[in-house]
Copies of this chain bind each other. A is one copy, B any other.
Amino acid sequence: MNQPTEPKADKSGVRRHNLSLVLRTVAEAGETTRAAVAARVGLTRPAVSSLVEQLLDLGFLVESGKTFSGQAGRPGTVLKPADTGPAGLGVEINVDYVTVRVVDLTGTDRVRRTERLDNREADAAGVLARAAGIAAEALDEAAERRLAPAGAALALPGLVSGGTVRQAPNLGWNEVPAEALFAQGLTTLRPATTGLPVTSDNEANMAALAELWSGSLGDIRTFLHLTGEIGVGGAIVVHGELLRGAHGFAGEIGHLVVDAEGPRCRCGSRGCLEQYAGQAALLASAGATGVPDLARRAQTGEPRAVTALAEAGRMLGRALSGAVNLLDPEAVVLGGIYPQLMPWLTPALTEELSARVVSGLWTPDAGRLRPASAATDASRGAAALVLHDVLADPLNYAPQ
C-alpha cells in the first residue's frame, strides 16, 4: 500500500507548538489567567507560566494588574492578547471598490478605509497601485497606534493561484501578478515594508474565513459560503479549513450550470448560476437600478421584482442542491447582496433544496440556510488570515 509519511514528532517542535497553543487559547478567550490556560490545554502550571513569560517578552500578550476569578481555580493576573505589535493588513479589491483594514491580535478592527472605484476602467497595475496607496495610508495610521503589519493578504474576485489572478472575468483580468504588483506599489511608497509577506486568495474564500472566525456560526465548521456581488463567489469550508482544491480554484459555485441551454456566461459556458443570481442579471431581470432599489420594489410587492427574486432563488436552490449533495455541509451562508434579499429569495430556494437534496436534512424549516453576519467581509477575512498565521507560529513573527 502507498502510505504517506510525515515528519517525525520530536521535542524540538514541541515548545514552538505549545507557544502557539497558549497564544491561541488566550486569543480565543479574550481575557484569561495562567491557571485557566493550563486547565484548558492540559499542560502544567509551570510549563504554561514559562510559555506565557516568553509570549509577554515578545509582545504577543499583555497582563494587567487586576485579578480575575475564572472557572478553573484561584484568581490570577489577567492575560490578554496585545493590542499593539503584530497586526493583519487585509485588502479587498472588488469590481467597484477597494477596502483596506488593519486588525490587531485581539481581533479588533483598528483602521478601515473603503474607496468606491470603478476598477473595470483602470488597468490592473493601476488598480493594484491605488490599493497599495490606500494600504500605505492605513499603515501610517496603524503605526500611530503602535501596530506593525505581520503580513498583508489580498482578497480578489477571480481565480487566484501562486500570487497571480489567473482569470477575473468581471474585472477583465488575465494572468495579473497581483501580489508582486501590490508589494511593489507598497514598498515604493513605504520602503520599510520591504520583505513584508504578501498572500492572496479569492475574495469568497476570504469572506468565508471571516465568517468562520467571527464566531457567529457557533459550532458550525463545515459550510458553503456564497457571496453575491457582480459575480457570484463561492467558498467551501470543511472542518474549519478552506477547501482550495488541487490548483486553488475550488468553490466556483457561480459557475454551476442551472440550465444547460441558458444564456452565455463571461466564463465561456452557458446557463451558469451567475447569469440568474448575480447582481447584474438580477437587477436587469427585475428592472431595478441597484440593490436597495430592488429591495424597495420587492417590499412594495412589485410583480417584476418579486418574480425576478423568486427565479433567482429557484436557480440558487438548484445549484446549491448539487453543492449540498456533493459536500454535505452543516449550513449554507449567503453573503454580499443576498442577506437583505432573503425574504424574497428563500421560499423558492428552500423548496428546491428540500426536493433535491438526497439526505433529506434540508427541509424548508431546517434553518441550515443563513445570512452572513453583517460584520464580516473579505477584507476582514484577509486580515484574519494574516493573524491566523501569527497565532499558528508566533516565533516566526517575533521581533528580531
Query: Which A residues have a C-beta under 8 Å from some C-beta of B?
Result: 1-11, 13-14, 17-18, 21, 24-25, 27-28, 40-43, 107, 159, 166-167, 212-215, 222, 234, 236, 238, 240, 243-253, 255-260, 267-270, 318-319, 321-323, 325-330, 355-356, 358-361, 384, 387-388, 391
Contacts and interface: CB of A to CB of B under 8 A. Distances in A.
A248 B328 contact: yes
Contact of A18 (B3, B9, B244): B9
Contacts of A212: 2
Contact of A245 (B27, B167, B328): B328
B159 A359 contact: yes
Listed from nearest, the 9 A-B pairs whose CB atoms lie closest are A245-B328, A250-B328, A252-B325, A269-B356, A2-B215, A246-B330, A249-B328, A3-B24, A1-B107
B213 A359 contact: no
B1 A318 contact: no
Contact of A252 (B25, B329, B358): B358
A326 B25 contact: no
Given A222-B246, A328-B245, A328-B246, A42 B213 contact: no
B43 A387 contact: no
A258 B321 CA distance: 12
Contact of A267 (B249, B323, B358): B358
Contact of A213 (B2, B9, B330): B2
Given A244-B328, A246-B328, 16 more contacts: A1-B27, A3-B24, A4-B240, A5-B25, A8-B18, A9-B18, A159-B358, A236-B326, A236-B327, A246-B330, A249-B359, A258-B260, A260-B318, A269-B355, A269-B358, A270-B356
